[in-house]
Amino acid sequence: MYSSKLDRVAYIHALGDDVRIVTGDKVIDVPQNTVMAHPFNTNFHVEGDAVLHTFHGPIHLRGSEDKK
């Protein structure tokens, strides 16, 4: 089976100005309207309003908003 490096990477497109990639004890701030690549071989989650582009298609992630 053919495996490309593209199917092992997620591209995070920050739509908001408070997007972060959290992996273990490391936090990566992603500036608004920037696309960053992150490998799937590590556990991570994305905080904030962003689109996660994968080999299988895009996923729109919306961060939670504090309710006052």
The number of residues in the chain equals 68
pLDDT given at position 29: 92
pLDDT given at position 1: 45
15-62 confidence digits (pLDDT tens): 988 899 888 888 999 999 999 888 877 788 889 999 988 878 888 888
For residues 19 and 60, what is the distance between their CA atoms, to the nearest angstrom? 13
Residues spanned by the domain of 35: 5-61
pLDDT given at position 65: 53
Strand partners, 21: 28, 46
Can you give the CATH number for the domain in which 15 is found?
A: 2.60.40.50
What is the count of structural domains for the chain? 1
The answer, as to whether pTM is greater than 0.85, is no
Residue 68: inside a domain, yes or no? no
